[in-house]
Structures are given as structure tokens and as C-alpha cells.
A and B are shown apart, each in its own frame.
Chain A
Amino acid sequence: MGTVEAHGLRKAFGDVQALDGVDLDVPDGSFFVVLGPSGAGKTTTLRAIAGLEKLDGGSVHLDGRDATDDTPAARDLAMVFQSYALYPRQTAYDNIASPLRARKASASDIAAAVEQVATLLHIERLLKRRPAQMSGGEMQRVALARALVRRPRAFLMDEPLTNLDLKLRVEMRTELTRIHRALGGTFLYVTNDQVEALSMADHVAVLKDGRVQQVGTPADVYERPANQWVAGFVGSPRISLLACRAEGDRLVGAQGWSLPRPRWTTAEDGRPLLLGLRAEDVSVERRGDVALAGEVYALEPLGDRTVVDVKVGSELVKVKARPHVTGTPGDRVSVTVDLDRAHIFDAGTGLALSTAGR
């Protein structure tokens, strides 16, 4: 059992409104990722749920019970800090044992639990070392072990992989998914890395400026972004947004192009819109009737693929292509568009227009 609900969390630091009414509903046993750029209020949200931050408003419910005024200890949560926050004077064993000692477990229970979690995380050989004698990756695992040694209501993780190098980060992503599957339990995980969010989460909440922009599965967030900002933040290369408006059964671009209007767009004629095209939903290699005319602006070979920047009028469209695609800047190209996968946003509010039925 371990649900976490946050309602209308508000917190200001001086003039900065870090949390501006954050609502989260973390179901039992889920791997829930809060995704957002730095400064979005992710860490503050997590610290508020942990009871480390005094809130200006809002409430935190754990397992359905109001825990807003509970001490961190009483909330029965475990947390992995971005800085790891391992006690420097203590060995890895003592660090991992700390939550159990604080809760007055017996020495034999502690030894058994530490051994078990050390095996799970492959850190048996580190147990006698102090943090100063460990690498970043090793400290990270010990910090994780200190959280996982207990069965708390939920595990809170504050960008635990951010300080690792790329290779370790990729490794630990898989590892964390494995651990979540092995242990069960509720994971509330905060990150600014969309790859982490999309690859590990079963639920994603996208946070910006202390407000939740969208909550859904990774597929929801990627394929049905609720607004222009989420569409731009999630996905790499970044989604291309082209100014346009609806005119009858056509979408007419500000740059002079014209495409058939998708059936599902509900906008009235003339309203300023943005056409969002993900790099994989457009092509310079396929031929099709629905296409934009442009010229090659730049090629970014990325090994497994090449991203072609195509200039359509004065706007850029990023196009994912095969690794060995050829072209030189200035070449005329036709960008085939898969309109069924396109996104249309209101240019004024940034909100996605009805995407029902997709």
C-alpha cells in the first residue's frame, strides 16, 4: 500500500513562486516520474511531500490520510537525494543501516536487510567503505540502498542519476526499472531528463513554473502533448512548430504553404494555429502528396540517424532521416508530412486542439 496525493501545493521562496498549485496523484505501486526543466519546482515538490519543506498552502495525503503536518519521520517515506547525502563519517553499511537503526530494528534484522539490499544492488564489496572511498556511481548505489533497505510507503528520488556519467546513467535506468519490478512499491521520481521519464515511468507529470502541465503515460505525453510547451519539452530533436491558420479544408502556413486540413481539427477559420511536426513524422526520403517545399539548411549526422534541418520559408523543420542521407545546404527538398500524426495548437493559448479519436 502506498499512494501519494498532493493537492494544490504552494510554496514561495521570496519573490519566486516555486510551487503554484501542484496536484499529483501517485497510484500505489506505480513508477511516477515528475519531469520538468530545472527551476520548475520538481525538487521542491518532492521535498514538500517528504515533509522537508514547509508549505504555504495545499495538502499531502499518504495512503489517503492527511499527512500535511506530519514530521518527515512519521510519513514513512524514503528518499534518494541528488547529492546522495551519504553520511561522510559512516561506512556504507552504517549508511544503509541508518533507517533501520532509527526505527529500532534488531541487529540481526538489520544485518539481514542490509545484506539483502546489497545483493540486489551488487554492492556487497563496498559495505566497509566510507563515501570518500567510493566513486560517484558507487555512492549512488549506496544511497539507493539506504532508501531500498526499508519498505516505506513510497520511494522519493530526486534526480538520482543526474550526477552520473552517461554510460552509468543508461545502466542505472535499466537497473531501476528492474528494481521497481522486483520490489514493487511506489516510486516517485523527479528528473529533467525526458529519456529517463519516457523509458522508466508508467506515469509522467510534466511540471513547469510550479504548475503541472500534463499528467499521463509516457505515450500520452509524447504522442498527445496537452500544450505547445509540453510538445516542445518532450522529444528530441525538438518538435517543429509552424505558424498557420485553417481556411476551409486547408491549413495555410504563414510561410505560404498549404496542406489539407486534418479531419480532427476543430478550429474555426482564421484562428492563428501552430502545426507541430515531430522529426520522425516527416520525411525527406519518402514521396507523398502531402508535403512542404523547402531547402536543406543543415545536416546533423548522429550515427544511427541524421537530422536534416529543412528551411520552409523562414521556419525550420527538423526531419529524421537515414544515417547516410545526402544533401547539401541549399538543395531544394520536399518534406512529406504524416498529417495523422501532426499536432495542432492554438497559437494564443498554446493548448492542443481536440485530438479526440486519434
Chain B
Amino acid sequence: MAITIDEAVPGPATDDAPPARRRGGRGRMVVEVLLLTALAVAMLFPVLWMLETSIKENRDVYAVPAKFFGFDLTLDHYKDVFVARGGGRSDLSGSFLNSVVVAGASTVLATVLGVPAAWAYSRFTLKAKKDQLFFILSTRFMPPVVVVIPIFLMYRTLGLIDTKLGLVLIYAAFNVPFTIWMMKGFVDEVPAEYEDAAMLDGYTRLQAFWRVTLPLLVPGIAATAVFALIFSWNEFVFAVFLTSSQEVRTAPPAIAGLIGGTTVDWGLVAASAVVFAVPVLVFAYLVRKHLVAGVTLGAVRR
């Protein structure tokens, strides 16, 4: 599941003066409210249903007609996500751990590579800088699924098939261009004169970057890293094609794998989906201010 900006951004303050009535008056407003409500229901119903299903007893999950209210509560599904039937850790919990490792490592790698690159693109005059930046961006133009087969073949030769390292590398490769572009915006906003001043103080260029510019970039890095983290966390196509063993599998294919047997344990599917979505929501909430700053960069004077 992906997070939309609407979810990440706190709603507008409600105690503001009411907006001036637009043309059309009350009737038009009613129509607007109705349409927006319909949209909200359509958008949020699957989420609500997922939450409900994850805490329903199995018989209520399969009840016909479906029960919106008055079902029996249980947390068994959540227990099943983490604990195997016979005791011990469940396969699914292993997949979640893989997801944490893969998403975390690829984000760190993309940030470590991307932030200095963004700084360099922002600060230095380079030959064909715009072309280079366009090339970097262009790697994001095609859908990832287009390169799955060639990457599969390369990985097979390199022995990276069905390894966490393979996933980390491919996710980092997708996140570095994004990190460079987003961070370049943040670096552009830090005046280069801070570094000039630091160099005259007696620091080297790298020390100036490290001591003066980098601390000012921390909010931007946090926002960029969260985006990269969410991408890696949610990624499905490469995870399905490049991994197969239980030890390596990340959560998205593992959850998808729950569906498709003769019977589907919808309670477990819903509970694991909730568990899968929570970290993303938490991170997005923590950096919500910077997420908007990153998305609307250039439009907003910070």
C-alpha cells in the first residue's frame, strides 16, 4: 500500500474564517460535499475493511451477508502473523525481518551515495551537468518491470539471484537517482557561502560540507530517506522475480503468497497487510512536514 500526500499532511485548520461563498451558493456546496464524501468512502472503504477483517473471528470473516458491526473481536490473526502454528517464529515474521533489512540497507546505501552526489551537482560546475542530471532522472522513466528479465539474467550470472544483497543493490539503484534529485533541491537552498566562509576559516571543502552544510540538510535527508524507504518497503515486482526462498523473501511477495491456495485465510492476509502498512504510516507521520517540503520544493519558501 502506498501513502498519499493527503494522508501524510495534516488537514487544513478548521477554525479559519469560512471561505467566501463561490458562485452557485449552497446547492453547489451540497453537491461538492456529496461528491467528496463518495470519494472518501470509495478510497477509505478498502482500508476500513482490511482493519475490520484483521480483527474479526474467522466465522465472521466468512459470514454471508458480511458483518459491518457486531462481529466478535480477536487478535489471533495478529498472533498468527508473528507466531507459527506449532510455536516459534512464523514464516511471515521472517519475511517482515527481511523487508526491514533490505529496505533499511538499500535506503542507507542510496542516501550515502546520493547525498554527496546531490551536493556535488548543486555546488560544482560540471561538463554537461544538465544532461547528466537528465540522464539520471531518465533511469526512472521506464517501469521497473521492463528490466526485470535482463536483471534476472545478470543476477544469475553474478550469483545474486535469491539473495538479500541482490535486492538491496537493485533497490538502491532505483533510489539513488531519486535521492540525487530530491537532495539537490535541498542543497540548492543552503547558500554556498556558508561553505565558502568555512573554507576561509581554515577547513577543507569536505570538512566545510560535513560541518556546515550537512547539519542543515538533515531534515531534507530524513524526508528523502523516508521516500526511499517506502519505495523499497513496498517494492513487489523485483522481490517476486529475484527471490524465491523463504529465507530471503520480503513481506510483499510473502503476503501475496498467502492468497492462492485452496483456502485463503483472509484474517491473516488482512492482519499482515495492516502490520505491513503501519511502519510506512509511522514514518510518514514523523516526517510529514518535510515530505510536503520535499514534494513542493521550489513552490515553498522555507
Contact = CB atoms under 8 A, between A and B. Distances in A.
Interface in A21-64: 47, 50-52
8 contacts: A47-B196, A73-B202, A73-B203, A81-B193, A85-B193, A89-B216, A101-B201, A102-B202
B212 interface: yes
B219 to A, nearest CB: 12
Interface of A: 47, 50-52, 71-73, 77-79, 81, 83, 85-89, 98-99, 101-103, 146
Contacts of B205: 71
Contacts of A103: 202
B260 interface: no
Interface string B221-251: 0000000000000000000000000000000
Contacts of B201: 73, 98-99, 101-102, 146
B198 interface: yes
A86 B201 CA distance: 12
Contacts of B207: 102
Interface of B: 191, 193-194, 196-205, 207, 212, 215-216
A215 to B, nearest CB: 25
A302 to B, nearest CB: 37
A101 B215 CA distance: 18
B202 A81 contact: no
Given A88-B216, A89-B215, A89-B216, A72 B193 contact: no
B57 to A, nearest CB: 55
A130 to B, nearest CB: 13
Nearest to A75: B200
A101 B201 CA distance: 9
Contact of B199 (A71, A86, A88, A101): A71
Given A89-B215, A89-B216, A77 B194 contact: no
Given A79-B197, A89-B216, A71 B191 contact: no
Contact of A73 (B204, B212, B215, B216): B204
A51 to B, nearest CB: 8
Contacts, number: 58
B200 A71 contact: no
A88 B190 CA distance: 10
A85 B191 CA distance: 8
Given A73-B200, A77-B200, 6 more contacts: A51-B199, A71-B205, A79-B200, A83-B191, A86-B197, A146-B201
B196 A52 contact: yes
Contacts of B200: 50, 52, 72-73, 77-79, 99
A99 B202 contact: yes
A118 to B, nearest CB: 17
A83 B199 contact: no
Contact of A87 (B199, B202, B204, B212): B212
A81 B201 CA distance: 12
A103 B200 CA distance: 11
Given A87-B212, A88-B216, A89-B215, A81 B203 contact: no
B191 A52 contact: no
B202 A52 contact: no
B273 to A, nearest CB: 41
A36 to B, nearest CB: 20
A113 to B, nearest CB: 13
A281 to B, nearest CB: 43
B193 to A, nearest CB: 4
Give the 9 A-B CB pairs with smallest separation, nearest first. Answer: A102-B202, A85-B193, A72-B199, A99-B201, A85-B197, A102-B201, A73-B202, A98-B201, A79-B200
A121 B120 CA distance: 37
Most interface-central of B197, B203, B205 (chain A CB within 10 A): B197
B197 A87 contact: yes
Contacts of B202: 73, 99, 102-103
A69 to B, nearest CB: 14
B196 A102 contact: no
A47 B212 CA distance: 19
A310 B271 CA distance: 91
Given A81-B193, A85-B197, A102 B212 contact: no
Contact of A98 (B196, B198, B216): B198
A113 B204 CA distance: 23
B194 A85 contact: yes
A87 B211 CA distance: 10
B77 to A, nearest CB: 47
B209 to A, nearest CB: 13
